[in-house]
Amino acid sequence: MAAKDMFLLEVFRNLASSVAGEMGVALQRAAFSPNIKERKDHSCAVFDPQGGLVAQAEHIPVHLGAMPATVRAVLEGFELAEGDIFILNDPYLGGTHLPDISMVSGVFSGGELSAVLATRAHHSDVGGIAPGSLPLSSDIHQEGLVIPPLLLYRAGVRDESFMRLLSANVRTPAERLGDIDAQVAAHRVGERRLERIFGRYGTTETLTRFGDLQYYSEALTRAALSAVPRGSYSFTDYLDDDGFGATDLPIAVKIEMSGGDAVVDFSGTSGPSRGPFNCPVSVTMSAVYYAFRCIAGDGVPANEGAFRPIEVRIPEGCLLDARRPRPVAGGNVETSQRIVDVLFGALAQALPDRIPAASYGTMSNLSLGSAPGAPEVFSYYETIAGGTGAGPGFDGLSGTQAHMTNTMNTPVEALEYSYPLRVKEYRLRRGSGGGGEYRGGDGIVRELEALEEVRATLLAERRARGPYGLEGGKRGARGKDEVIHGGRPHKIASKGSVTLEPGDSIRISTPGGGGWGVKAKHRKGAAR
């Protein structure tokens, strides 16, 4: 490729990604809920008119890998017109789980659809049987309001009947409507920025360069995959349980590397789960794309082309192919993390000098909301970080989000200002990282006290077996969950709901990362 063409590719790469990035900033700043404003639990992306991903901001991996399926669901079922914005959260149509509400809109040039914009934001409540809409459910309808692709805006005019329907089905309608408006604002920003790009460079030139970017990513990905030794690599890991008594749910993978291409086969994976750990195909694909992007490296633009060299085979109706009405609330946040663990476990056999041990492997999802009849209703959601896996030449990181989540924590001040909660403890869980020549990062201890009666729901994993080590490294510590009542801790299940009386607190101790290598005895400077 000529130097001039390479220069132009970089120009358009940065132009497209800056659109997604600016959309994200607008969404965050306009949002009402701390979950979006503080934790940045949202994602934005730019697509070509056919629904091919052109660019994404550095937001949430589990969102971004699934959004192409959401965009396709809209484009295949409807015709976008100027001023239209579609809204949806259906997990069987490219969604992830119900709290993740997506919007899709078109950008037009000369009356023709020239680009598509998409946003996805985690709303802290969309109804269902528990505040936060992440319950221990056995049916999708227990998890909240399912929104198929609907026109939120038609030709620039909002459908107020839908807004009334949404408000009637959620616990915190004012916050929901504020976050919906923030997503709409992000689309307006994206539309204006793309219109300026089309105006400056011309629609034809811009779309040509967008296509070139996708081919460029494909070529770079194939080159990266060709450096992986040819062969077949298999690995199996397990979900602890489904919350209803079934334990050790296997997720199995076989990866065939053949010089520039990869076939990822999940045969041998568990059948569907009774509990909410079924994984929509879009989420499974997100985890696969994320793992292979880690192999390809940051230099590869994140777009449709990067996905083309990877074929994914998923047994019909299994745990990783959720079918209506299987519950999916935890598939997006817990099963996706285990898929990454399994993929890296297999790839470590091919690339032992690059792949780290397993990270903490759970988002330790905690939802807190007001009890029925409370004078002021609230709903709050957070994921809690842990330790990352150690690798060849480095210790794991402590107290950080990893893999399929990329959120921040909610600052203590913001949480206590917004909700009847007090943060009693928030620290690293020293010694929880797995030992080895290089030690896994430590998890976190987080304790929240209820200042009024509160309903708490937890969906968490890695409580039965800690994250695996590699090359002789030890497992990270398992997670632990407790309610402190009357000054005494009581162990609780990692999946389910509890009621906290005023003065009670819930304490979550997250897993540490796995260790790497055998710790050398008597070696000066050996890892701690």
What's the CA angle centered on 276, arms 273 and 281, to 5 degrees?
75
Q: In what order do the strands lie in the sheet with 262-265?
A: 231-241, 247-257, 262-265, 310-313
Residue 330 domain flag = no
Rounded-to-integer distance, Cα 438 and Cα 434, Å: 9
- The string over 420-455, giving b where at least 16 C-beta atoms fall within 10 Å of a residue's C-beta and e elsewhere, is bbebeeeebbeebbbbbbbbbbbbbbbbbbbebbbb
Which one-letter DSSP state was computed for residue 333?
A: I
379 beta partners: 369
Q: Which two tokens stand for residue 157?
A: 């005019």
Residue 241 domain flag = no
Please name which of 325, 340, 335, 363 lies closest in space to residue 277, comparing C-alpha atoms.
335
- The string over 491-518, giving b where at least 16 C-beta atoms fall within 10 Å of a residue's C-beta and e elsewhere, is ebebbbbbebeeebbbbbbbbbbbbbbe
CA distances from 42 to 63, 69, 141, 204 (A): 8, 17, 23, 31
Residue 526's pLDDT is what? Answer: 37
Residue 4's pLDDT is what? Answer: 59
Residue 251 domain flag = no
Structural domain including 149 reads 3-218
Residue 410 domain flag = yes
* Helix, coil or strand: residue 367: strand
Q: Which two tokens stand for residue 232?
A: 């077949």
> Domain boundary residue among 186, 218, 250?
218
* Helix, coil or strand: residue 264: strand
Residue 60 domain flag = yes
Which one-letter DSSP state was computed for residue 337?
A: H
Q: What is the CA radius of gyration of the chain?
A: 23
Dihedral of CA 364/347/66/24: which sign? positive
> Domain boundary residue among 218, 236, 270?
218
Rounded-to-integer distance, Cα 74 and Cα 96, Å: 15
Q: Based on the number of CB atoms within 10 Å of its own CB, is 168 exposed (0-12), middle (13-18) or buried (19 or more)?
A: exposed
Q: Please give the distance of CA 453 from its chain centroid, rounded to a whole number.
A: 30
Which residue type is seen at 328?
V
Residue 342 domain flag = no
First to last CA, the chain: 48
Residue-by-residue pLDDT tens, the chain, 528 positions: 555 577 888 899 999 999 999 999 999 999 999 989 998 889 999 999 999 999 988 767 777 678 999 999 999 999 999 999 999 999 999 999 999 999 999 999 999 999 999 999 999 999 999 999 999 999 999 999 999 999 999 999 999 999 999 999 999 999 999 999 999 999 999 999 999 999 999 999 999 999 999 999 999 999 999 999 999 999 999 999 999 999 999 999 999 999 899 999 999 999 999 999 999 999 999 999 999 999 998 889 889 999 999 999 999 999 999 999 999 999 999 999 999 999 999 999 999 999 999 999 999 999 999 998 888 899 999 999 999 999 999 999 999 999 998 888 889 999 999 999 999 999 999 999 999 999 999 999 999 999 999 999 999 999 999 999 999 999 999 999 999 999 999 999 999 999 999 999 999 999 999 999 998 653 343 333
Residue 2's pLDDT is what? Answer: 54
Residue 279 domain flag = no
Q: Please give the distance of CA 513 from its chain centroid, rounded to a whole number.
A: 19
> Domain boundary residue among 164, 198, 218?
218
Q: How many domains does the chain have?
A: 2
Give the residue ranges of DSSP H helices in 78-172. Answer: 160-168
Instruction: With beta carbons less than 8 A apart as the criterion, state whether 226 and 292 touch.
Output: no
Instruction: With beta carbons less than 8 A apart as the criterion, state whether 158 and 364 touch.
Output: no
Rounded-to-integer distance, Cα 164 and Cα 148, Å: 16
Residue 280 domain flag = no
